[in-house]
Each structure stands twice: as C-alpha cells, then as structure tokens.
Amino acid sequence: MSTVSKPVPHKFLEARIVSQRYSYSGNSVKSHFFLPYTNATTGRRSSSRREILLIYRGPIGGAAVPERKPLSVVHMASSNVDNKDDRISRISSSIRVIPDFPKPGIMFQDITTLLLDPKAFKDTIDLFVERYKDKNINVVAGVEARGFIFGPPIALAIGAKFVPMRKPKKLPGEVISEEYSLEYGTDKIEMHVGAVQPGERAVVVDDLIATGGTLTAAINLLERVGVEVVECACVIELPELKGRDRLGEKQLFVLVSST
C-alpha cells in the first residue's frame, strides 16, 4: 500500500524591500512585485529603477531554512500585463519543484501540477493570448514535448495554425531538420516541409527555457524557410543557465523565473 506525504505548510519569515537597478531586454523587466521607486532628494519617480519585494518563507513551527531564497520572480512586458496581476502568483505557486530529478543536482520544474489547476492553466494561456492576439501571428510553433500542451490553445485563441517541432523520426512526411548541440553530443528538431510559408510570422512556444539550445534550433529552422520569428514564449526560465543570452537579439517572453 502506498502512502501520500502531506505538503509542508509554510509561513512568511521575512519580507524586505530592496532598491535595485534592472537591465532591460526589449520591453521586459525582471521583477515579481513592482513598487514605484521615488528619489528621496528630488521626490520624482524613476523609470529605470524599481523596488522589489522579496519574501522568504520556512516551515511552520520549525527553524528557519538555512539557505533561504526568494519566491519566483517574473519577466513580464509591463505594457501588456498589470504589474500586480494576481495570475502570476497563482501560476508560480502551482508549479511543483522536484529535487534530484531526473538525476542528482537537478531541480525539476514540474508543470503537471499547473495543469491540474484549471484556473492557473487558464491564466497561463490567457496571458500568452493577451500578448499575441494583436501581433498578426500566423504560426504558433510548439517544441516537443511540453510545447504541445501550451501551443495549441494559444494558436486557436489567436487564429493561428499550430506547427509541431518534433524530435527525429516522429513526423511521417517529408521533413526539414536542424541540429543543435547538447552537453554531450547533438540532437535534432524537425518540421514538416510545407507546414509554414515564407513571410509568415511565428511565435515559438515551450514550457521552459534552460540553456536555450532547443529554442535556438527551432528559430533557425523556421528562419531557414523564410518565416519571421517574432518572439519565443515560455512559462518558466532558469536564468542561471543563460538561455536568454543564447537567443541573441530574439525576444523572449517568460511568465515565471526560477530562483
């Protein structure tokens, strides 16, 4: 007989406000809770600085966690999403982190728990739809495998076609492929010939960006056949792996950033 472990309740141990200057990428800024920064000397608000509320937490009734980390932060386009949008915290809290999976040292970001929460799942899709509904997008390209979860509902909502970007030997028709490097060796991503047309505008969708190799391959594959890749869209970013840097000047829209 199997047993189900009970979730550990948490209480807030500390909350503090930190003034910080942020580097911008396109029209996005890295933060979770935005608070306007006011210069104490001039009394004017600055557009280049923000104050971010960092909240730390630990088990109720126990000692503080030795290495406390802030809750997830967010990369959002401030022109598209209310900075205090409560959908973000709902999405973030619904994502389960599993340590040492699939191998020791990996903190696996499990989006299956998000999918079990209809409200959080809908919020996720809605945020992407709000982002792309007026950008004349013809193609939503979903990267195997979890890009297949988020891509189709986005495509349907904005009136675009969904194109699967698959691993080798998964598509039955004639394919075009792009090879990319892994930590050890290489892999490929493939797309059906004729699935997209030159001049179409695409968004590449995946659940998570880590090193950025798969997204870069998807971009290269689409651009080889004349498609304009407007942006990449992911639910989660692992910023310590610097996948954003690998994308170069290509825009990246991310809802939740792991800390």
Say how far apart CA 145 and CA 205 lie, in whole Å.
10
Q: Is the pLDDT of residue 222 over 80?
A: yes
Which pLDDT score is estimated for 182?
82
Of 155 and 182, which is predicted with more confidence? 155
Q: Tens digit of pLDDT for each residue in 228-258?
A: 999 999 999 999 999 999 999 999 999 999 8
Say how far apart CA 237 and CA 74 lie, in whole Å.
9
Let me know if 21 is a catalytic residue. Answer: no
pTM (2 d.p.): 0.70
Say how far apart CA 234 and CA 245 lie, in whole Å.
15
Let me know if 174 is a catalytic residue. Answer: no
pLDDT band at 259 (very low <50, low <70, confident <90, very high): low
Question: Would you say 198 and 207 are in contact if contact means Cβ atoms under 8 Å apart?
Answer: no
Catalytic residue among 146, 166, 178, 237: 146
pLDDT band at 56 (very low <50, low <70, confident <90, very high): very low
pLDDT cut 90: percent of the chain above it: 64
Which pLDDT score is estimated for 76?
39
What average pLDDT does range 130-141 have in this prediction? 98
Q: Is the pLDDT of residue 162 over 50?
A: yes
Catalytic residue among 67, 174, 183, 249: 183
Question: Would you say 125 and 152 are in contact if contact means Cβ atoms under 8 Å apart?
Answer: no
CB burial of residue 237 (10 Å; 0-12, 13-18, 19+): buried
Say how far apart CA 209 and CA 150 lie, in whole Å.
14
- Can you read off the two tokens belonging to residue 32? 């979770």
Q: Tens digit of pLDDT for each residue in 181-207?
A: 987 789 999 999 999 999 999 999 999
Q: Is the pLDDT of residue 63 over 70?
A: no
Give the SS3 label for residue 247: coil
DSSP 23: -
Provide the CB-side half-sphere exposure for 243 (13 A, CA).
24
Q: Is the pLDDT of residue 83 over 70?
A: no
Residue type at 183 in one-letter notation: E
